[in-house]
Amino acid sequence: MDVIFYRSPSGREPVREFFGALSIDDRAALADALTAIREHGFRAPGIVFRQIRGKLWEFRILGSISSRVFYVTVHEPMMVLLHAYKKQGQKAPPREIAVAERRLKEVEHEK
């Protein structure tokens, strides 16, 4: 599966920036997760995929890392990483979902 980062109209890649701000251990865990997704798709070991709303999904890595990544599958073999955040509570915060949904609309518009 292809995994690409959302790019804003101004050229920023917020998910890549989020990853860059993480600790080395967390960054390595996310890099390993992306490699597993590229190799195994939705059957990647150690990763939980969950539908948030409509076409918006999130994945998380089993274990100690508490980051979540929102994504959309645009074409079956392509996952676009829309937004990432540090999980603080049980539910995804509405503000984080809103950011991901706004980016999702931009990605859908580009099709």
Grouping H, G, I as helix, E, B as strand and the rest as coil, residue 102 is helix
Structure tokens at 35: 């490699």
- CATH number of the domain at 88, please: 3.30.2310.20
Higher pLDDT, 12 or 91: 12
User: 61-99, pLDDT tens digit by residue?
Assistant: 988 678 899 999 987 789 999 999 998 877 889 999 999
Whether residue 101 contacts residue 56, with contact meaning beta carbons closer than 8 Å, is answered with yes
The pLDDT of residue 58 is above 70: yes
pTM: 0.92
Whether residue 22 contacts residue 30, with contact meaning beta carbons closer than 8 Å, is answered with yes
Structure tokens at 106: 């931009």
Domain count, the chain: 1
Find the domain containing 42 and state its range.
Answer: 2-110
What is the helix (H) or strand (E) element at residue 76, kind and residue range? none
